[in-house]
Amino acid sequence: MAAVRELADSMSGAIYLPADEGYDAARKVWNGMIDKRPAMVAACSSPADVQHCVTFARERNLLLAVKGGGHSYPGKSTCDNGMMIDLSPMHAVAIDTRASAATVQGGALLGHLDTASLAQGLVTTAGIVSHTGVGGFTLGGGMGRLDRRIGLAIDNLLSATVVTADGQVRHASDDENPDLFWALRGGGGNFGVVTEFVYRLHPFDDNVYAGNIQYPIEQARHMMTVFAELEQTMPDAVNVEPYLYVADGQRMFGFAILYAGAPEDGERVLQPLLAAKKPEFNSMKPDTYSRWQTNADEYLGHGKLNYLKSGFIVELTPSFIDAFVGNYEGDELPNVWYQHLGGATSRIAGDATAYAHRDVRFNLGIDAVFTDAAETEARINSVRRYHQAMEPYMKGYYTNLNEEGAEKTWGNYGPNYPRLSEVKARYDGENLFRLNANIMPAA
């Protein structure tokens, strides 16, 4: 206990132990399925706090988890009997309009970033749930509704400040520690605790053309076939996310659509898709990007039970479309949805960053979101059944979402893995940072 008191005295933030008031609140993470009890939660309010905590954990061989927004589906941002570093007190965002850049502390949420940048008529790629942390989101790649137009979050990352396993603060950019900078862009939390990100910002008008169109599932094959053809030539400003869901006992198909440009242009560009077959529901209209960035916040709110599997799709072939629709049957059906890629994300070389999947067009997600723990087994089985049917069409997966075994993790980075392993050995040879899609240090 003397060592813990010494650590607490060295910090400007707070240490929570299991007997302390506030411990239960501090240890909570987003996914209600995850209920772990760290030996301590370190709420860090400065890079120096992070340094002290990383050194403390390394010297005592403590299992170390890092929490930004706490949105890890499999619960990698917490642990039993180890240390949780909680970055949430470090959430400041500073916008430099002259440099078109945002400096963002590691515990900030995507909503903090969006709100600050959009207020200045600027934007960078952020995900679709505003209470997600910038850290985990960015380090895994960073997909959002603007990735086709301006690239993934990692494609807009200018630099990062990292506390590495030796307790040192390192700056990473194209000019400083470029090997670390390369690895951070897609390599996840393997290389240290990022206390600050600097993102490139782009001029942006908040007015967009967006909405949902929905059909009975009997029309899903036709509409997916139409979309597969049109998608090849859609401009980068278009983001279309097909989905399957159940409403009032009926299986339904839909598209969530956002055109990141003038609404009148979006209406014109999307007309071939909108006119292919009259939808049962149509909410397409001029809207704001900022509203769309928060419209999933309640559905994916804190404390709900979440289980997910996912995988990348290279092409919407006829056989894939048949499997996508044909396997959506039975009881306790999951929600099935896509993230739209391609565009600017595909015009970057596969070895330019650690993120290797530049040729894929979609990320296919399969999830269950529920509140009754008694449903857990049935819900998990429904996700796994559908994923198993679709897995032959998948090429790798988004490391931010899935929990996979070591061999799948290694294979998921393709030819980038050996280089990642070398960088891991250079900055974390003892694998202190292993609660992630773990990359083993090179021998």
* 23-40 tens-digit pLDDT: 999 999 999 999 999 999
The answer to whether 350 touches 416, Cβ cutoff 8 Å, is yes
Q: How many CB atoms lie within 10 A of CB 27?
A: 22
**Same domain, yes or no: 17 and 126:** no
Give Cβ neighbours of residue 133 (< 8 Å, ≥ 6 apart). 67, 68, 69, 70, 71, 87, 107, 108, 109, 110
Question: Over the stretch 162-207, which tens digit does the pLDDT of each residue have?
Answer: 999 999 999 999 999 999 999 999 999 999 999 999 999 999 999 9
408 is a domain residue? no
Question: Over the stretch 204-232, which tens digit does the pLDDT of each residue have?
Answer: 999 999 999 999 999 999 999 999 999 99
Give the CATH number for residue 387: 3.40.462.20
405 is a domain residue? no
**Same domain, yes or no: 170 and 68:** no
401 is a domain residue? no
pLDDT of 122 higher than 70: yes
Which residue, 70, 86, 102, sits at the end of a domain? 86
70 is a domain residue? yes
For residues 259-268, give the mean pLDDT: 97
404 is a domain residue? no
Give the CATH number for residue 59: 3.30.43.10
**Same domain, yes or no: 360 and 217:** yes
322 is a domain residue? yes
**Same domain, yes or no: 233 and 377:** yes
Query: What is the domain range of residue 25?
Result: 2-86
**Same domain, yes or no: 123 and 259:** no
**Same domain, yes or no: 371 and 284:** yes
**Same domain, yes or no: 138 and 218:** no
pLDDT band at 271 (very low <50, low <70, confident <90, very high): very high
The answer to whether 72 touches 31, Cβ cutoff 8 Å, is yes
**Same domain, yes or no: 183 and 124:** yes
Question: Over the stretch 242-256, which tens digit does the pLDDT of each residue have?
Answer: 999 999 999 999 999
442 is a domain residue? no
Which residue, 33, 55, 86, sits at the end of a domain? 86
pLDDT of residue 408: 74
Q: What is the pTM of this model?
A: 0.96
**Same domain, yes or no: 363 and 313:** yes
**Same domain, yes or no: 272 and 349:** yes
**Same domain, yes or no: 110 and 79:** no
Question: Over the stretch 291-348, which tens digit does the pLDDT of each residue have?
Answer: 999 999 999 999 999 999 999 999 999 999 999 999 999 888 999 999 999 999 999 9
CA distances from 4 to 7, 60, 79, 81 (A): 5, 11, 18, 14
Total domain count, the chain: 3
pLDDT of 411 higher than 90: no
Output the six-digit token pair for 291.
């509203």
Which residue, 52, 86, 120, sits at the end of a domain? 86
Give the CATH number for residue 178: 3.30.465.10
Strand duo 83-86 + 40-43: pairing? parallel
**Same domain, yes or no: 268 and 354:** yes
66 is a domain residue? yes
Strand duo 238-247 + 335-340: pairing? antiparallel
pLDDT of residue 401: 78
| Rounded-to-5 percentages of helix, strand, coil across the chain | 35, 25, 40
